[in-house]
Structure 1
Amino acid sequence: MSEKNRDGKRTARERLAAEREKQKAAERRRRTLIVGASVVCVLGLAAVIGVVAANSGKEDSTDNAGPVVAPSGANGKDALAIPVGKESAKSTLTVWEDFRCPACKAFESTYRSTIHELEAAGKLKVEYHLATLIDGNMGGSGSRNAANAAACAQDAGKFAAYHDVLYENQPEETDDAYSKNAELIALAGKVDGLDTPAFRKCVEDGTHNSWVVKSNQAFQSGGFGGTPTVLFNGKNIYQDQTMTPAKFKQMVEEADQG
């Protein structure tokens, strides 16, 4: 075999090996809990913190926003948590989310089926806390309005299903589509029995807007790094880059067995 042919075959093998390694790396990244997402979901940068501070007075003020009305069944401190799952479950997942946050959508897309499976089995309960980080960073009111609509869905006993619909249909981060009540009501049509006059009035009146503001204030004072923040029995597991749905499921099942 000529030297040229040997070099050609060696180069082809090297390209194939490199491509295989790229595919393996991509698969590892896909399976990890930390997924690629927009930096605006993180409070770590000084510039972002500055924007949040600049907007906090406008976004979080409860002046003239009406009384704080917690959604039905909300619990925890100041009734700021929306519970999903059986109260008797031994494990609790605490999730701080923003319906406009791409990283939150990535988390939900990766872990949704596992979380629902564990909830249905009575092994896991989830407490959702709603934040409006993207409104503060990017401007607009989609985070708040979507959170209010989700709270209205909780009043109707449809929070979990509507929560999933909002993430499945999340607009681009720079598109404040969720600021439009008509869009939020249209999406309610994807949840059986949710689009009712009572739900529409709750959305259009912003019944839970002040509650959402209070929830976001709790998020800001909590010292969290950004959304989503995911705590399993009090431990932040979102920062664990080795976390996968299978590993999380094993952790819940081990806790359930005591």
Structure 2
Amino acid sequence: MSEKNRDGNRSARERLQQQREREKAREKQRRVLIVSAAVVGVLGLAAVVGVIAANSGKDGGSDKAGPVVAPSGAVGDDKPAVPTGKPDAPSTLTIWEDFRCPACASFENAFRDTIHELEATGALKAEYHLVTIIDGNMGGSGSLRAANAAACAQDAGKFTPYHDVLYTNQPAETDDAFAKNDKLLELAGKVPGLDTPAFRSCVEGGTHDSWIAKSNDAFRKGDFRGTPSVLLNGESIFPQKENEQISPENLKKWVAEANKGKKAGTASPASGG
């Protein structure tokens, strides 16, 4: 075979390889778009934006100095969290979220009732890791201030209802309303028995700021795409688990599958649940 023919064959093989690589890239992009479209259907456009973009930006409060004061009943050393539900429930839902994150609010509004139901039956417990990514991305301090207030609510045994109130009253992402303690205290009035002198002192003094910063640092060091990051027994389930899209029905199914042959939890709920 002549040198010219060999060069021609080599060029043809190179072009074929390049074509295959372009096709693989297009297929990968197509799969991403399919997943994104599915997320839109379940949680709305905000979820796609949050999943893709929430992990970019600055530290968002991770430089807070001072002693780390964990709220009552907190769990985790290197990965601090607020636990809810019965401590001996056989399955654990791990949620990393930011109170300013629109995608997190979309997730909470879609799955809140299902999570509460599974917790009530002892099938599931949850661990909430509070982060401040949006403060880093957008500027401001609302993520940190709201997270500290939620930790203060945990001290009062009111984490779950206050957590839910914050998400159902979430301002627009560009509106740093949660940076104002007055707003956080106003919303505390929607939770019976929460607005006490001790709670106000905790909120206004930033008692748990360094603990929140530690949680945010753990998030940034982890292998997460953004907020919310949701795992069931350590396996990522948002926006999908393997080839199944997340939904309230699928969450119940996945928990039932994971709990097969195991006893439901019966211990008293964790403080704040």
- After TM superposition, the score normalised by the length of structure 2 is 0.76
Which residue of the partner structure matches residue 152 of structure 1?
A: 152
Which residue of the partner structure matches residue 182 of structure 1?
A: 182
Give the Cα separation in 1 of the matches to 2:256 and 2:113.
15
Deviations 1:202-229 (A, max 9, x none): 0000000011111100000012100000
Q: Tell whether the 8 Å contact from 2:79 to 2:218 is kept in structure 1 after alignment.
A: no
Q: CA deviation at 1:43?
A: 5.6
Q: CA deviation at 1:158?
A: 0.4
In structure 2, the gaps of 5 or more residues are 1-37, 262-273
Which residue of the partner structure matches residue 136 of structure 2?
A: 136
Q: Tell whether the 8 Å contact from 2:131 to 2:216 is kept in structure 1 after alignment.
A: yes
Q: CA deviation at 1:107?
A: 0.3
In structure 1, the gaps of 5 or more residues are 1-27
Give the Cα separation in 1 of the matches to 2:53 and 2:149.
29
Deviations 1:169-212 (A, max 9, x none): 00000000000000000100100100000000000000000111
What is the 5 A alignment of 1:111-126?
111-126=111-126
Which residue of the partner structure matches residue 197 of structure 2?
A: 197
Pairing 1:127–2:127 present: yes
Give the Cα separation in 1 of the matches to 2:49 and 2:210.
23
Amino acid at match of 1:129: H
Pairing 1:230–2:233 present: no
- 3-state SS in 2 of match to 1:251: helix
Q: Tell whether the 8 Å contact from 1:74 to 1:80 is kept in structure 2 after alignment.
A: yes
Q: CA deviation at 1:77?
A: 2.5
Q: Which residue of the other structure, out of 243, 253, 257, is the alignment partner of 2:256?
A: 253
Q: Which residue of the other structure, out of 61, 72, 81, is the alignment partner of 1:59?
A: 61
- 3-state SS in 2 of match to 1:95: strand
Give the Cα separation in 1 of the matches to 2:79 and 2:228.
20
Amino acid at match of 1:244: S
Give the Cα separation in 1 of the matches to 2:40 and 2:115.
18
Give the Cα separation in 2 of the matches to 1:253 and 1:79.
27
- 3-state SS in 1 of match to 2:259: helix
Deviations 1:34-72 (A, max 9, x none): 532166634659xx73xx2xx33x73213xx32110000
Give the Cα separation in 2 of the matches to 1:104 and 1:29.
13
Q: Tell whether the 8 Å contact from 2:61 to 2:144 is kept in structure 1 after alignment.
A: no
Pairing 1:98–2:98 present: yes
Q: CA deviation at 1:106?
A: 0.3
Give the Cα separation in 2 of the matches to 1:197 and 1:190.
16
- 3-state SS in 2 of match to 1:135: helix
Which residue of the partner structure matches residue 41 of structure 1?
A: 50
Number of matched pairs:
222
Give the Cα separation in 1 of the matches to 2:39 and 2:226.
20
Q: 1:39 to 1:179 in 2, by over 3 A?
A: farther
Amino acid at match of 1:60: S
Give the Cα separation in 2 of the matches to 1:207 and 1:227.
24
Q: Tell whether the 8 Å contact from 1:40 to 1:134 is kept in structure 2 after alignment.
A: no
Amino acid at match of 1:61: D
Give the Cα separation in 1 of the matches to 2:72 and 2:168.
24
Deviations 1:90-126 (A, max 9, x none): 1100000000000000000000000000000011000
What is the 5 A alignment of 1:83-94?
83-94=83-94
- After TM superposition, the score normalised by the length of structure 1 is 0.81
Q: CA RMSD in A?
A: 2.1
Q: Tell whether the 8 Å contact from 2:47 to 2:104 is kept in structure 1 after alignment.
A: no
Q: 1:133 to 1:40 in 2, by over 3 A?
A: farther
